[in-house]
Amino acid sequence: MDRGTKAAVLVTGGAGFIGAHTAKALYDRGYLPVVYDSLSSGFREAVRWGPLVHGDIRDARTLSDAMAEHDVKAVIHFAGLIEVGRSTVKPDLFWEHNVAGTVSLLGAMRERGVGRLVFSSSAAVYGQGGRGALETIPENAPKAPASPYGDTKLACEWMIEAQCRAYGLTGVALRYFNAAGADASGQIGEAHEPETHLIPLAIAAALGDGKPLTVFGADFDTPDGTCLRDYIHVSDLADAHVAALEADLPAGAYEAANVGTGQGASVLEVVEAVGRAVGRPVPHSIGPRRAGDPPSLVANPGRARELLGWGATRSSLDQIVADALRWESQPSYGAGVRGKRKASVPVR
C-alpha cells in the first residue's frame, strides 16, 4: 500500500532498541512513525524513518501537541525505564517514569481523540508464581512481579484496561520475553548505557571488548542451574507491534498477549551460542543471583497467534546471536558504550 495513504503512528521511546526496530517495521508497512523520545537513553541516530519529537513522557502538553501536529492516529508506547536491577534500588523513579508517564500519555490521547494504543509490557508481570521451571506461561497465569519494574508494567496494564472500558480506547499490551538480536540491515541495534543485557555483554566479553561475563546464579531450580529465558528476535517483536496495531478489535477492547517463542534457553546455553558465533569461548565466572530475577520465564505464545496472526520466524538462538554479533562488531551508534571496537572481528 502507498505510504501516503497510511496513518501517522506516535512511537514513544522510538529512539530505543525495540522502538527503533518497530519504527522501521511501521515504515516498511507504509506508516509514518513519529518518534517521541527524550533521548535520555535512546539515540538520535536510531530515528531514521520519520520525524523526531524531543520530549519527556511525563509531559502531557508536548505529547498532545505532537499528536495534533502530526495527525497521529495511534500510539505505540515504549518510553520508560527498563533495568530490573535498578528498579529494586530506585522504585520511585520507575513509578514516576513508567506509571505517571503512561497516565500523561493516556490523557493526551483522550484530549486528541487517539483511540488505539499498543503498550510495551513485559514477562516481568508474571514473576515466578508457583510455576515449575519448565512450564510455559499463558496470559492468565498468576501475576506476581519479582521487581518494581514488573510492578510498574502490571500497574500500567491495569490502568490501560480500565481506560479502554471507560473511554472506548482500544488497547493491546504485548508482554515481551527477552528481546535480542538486531535488524539484518545493520543500521540499528541494541545500545544501552550502561549495557546490562546478557547477549551484548557476552559478545563483548568474547570479543575482548568488555569485562568477563558474570553468570548471575547457577543454583536455580532449572536443568543447568542458570536462569531460563525466552529470547525473541527484535525484528519478530517489531512485527508483533504492527500486527497489534492492525488487529481487528472493537472500541473499548483490551487484550494482552505474550510475545515469545515458547522455547527457553539457559544463561549457559546463551554463553555457548555466543562462543560458537564468535569462534572463541566467552570468558565467564559464576556469581551471585541478581535481585529480581525469576528462575524461568518462557512464553506460551498461542494467544499472539490467535489474536494477531503472529509467530516468531527469526528467533532461533543462533540467528539472534549472529545478528547481534554483526551489530556489536560494527555499531553505527552507541559504540562508546562498550569501548573501542577491534579493527577486525570474526563475523560469520
- Which of 48, 58, 192, 197 is close enough to bind ligand UDP by CB under 6 A? 197
Please confirm, yes or no, whether 333 is among the known catalytic residues: no
Minimum distance between the CB of residue 285 and ligand UDP, rounded to whole angstroms?
10
Minimum distance between the CB of residue 74 and ligand UDP, rounded to whole angstroms?
26
| Residue 198 touches ligand UDP, criterion: CB under 6 A | yes
User: 31, 36, 126, 149: which is the annotated catalytic residue?
Assistant: 149
Minimum distance between the CB of residue 227 and ligand UDP, rounded to whole angstroms?
3
Q: How many Cα atoms are found within 13 Å in the side-chain-facing hemisphere of 22?
A: 32
Minimum distance between the CB of residue 51 and ligand UDP, rounded to whole angstroms?
30
Site for ligand UDP in 63-122 (CB under 6 A): 84
| Residue 214 touches ligand UDP, criterion: CB under 6 A | yes
Q: Which is nearer to ligand UDP, 161 or 236 (CB)?
A: 236
Piece of 25-33, 97-105, 211-219, 338-346 that binds ligand UDP (CB under 6 A)? 211-219
| Residue 196 touches ligand UDP, criterion: CB under 6 A | yes
| Residue 215 touches ligand UDP, criterion: CB under 6 A | yes
- Which of 98, 178, 261, 315 is close enough to bind ligand UDP by CB under 6 A? 178
| Residue 315 touches ligand UDP, criterion: CB under 6 A | no
- The residues that bridge with 36 in the sheet, in sequence order, are 12, 53
Piece of 5-13, 210-218, 248-256, 319-327 that binds ligand UDP (CB under 6 A)? 210-218
Q: Which is nearer to ligand UDP, 57 or 227 (CB)?
A: 227
What is the grid cell recorded at 123? 514477562
| Residue 237 touches ligand UDP, criterion: CB under 6 A | no
- The residues that bridge with 174 in the sheet, in sequence order, are 120, 257
- Which of 192, 290, 314, 341 is close enough to bind ligand UDP by CB under 6 A? 290
Site string for ligand UDP, 249-268 (x = CB under 6 A): ------------------x-
Give residues in contact with ligand UDP (CB under 6 A). Answer: 84, 178, 196-198, 201, 213-216, 227, 229, 267, 290, 293
Catalogue the active-site residues.
149
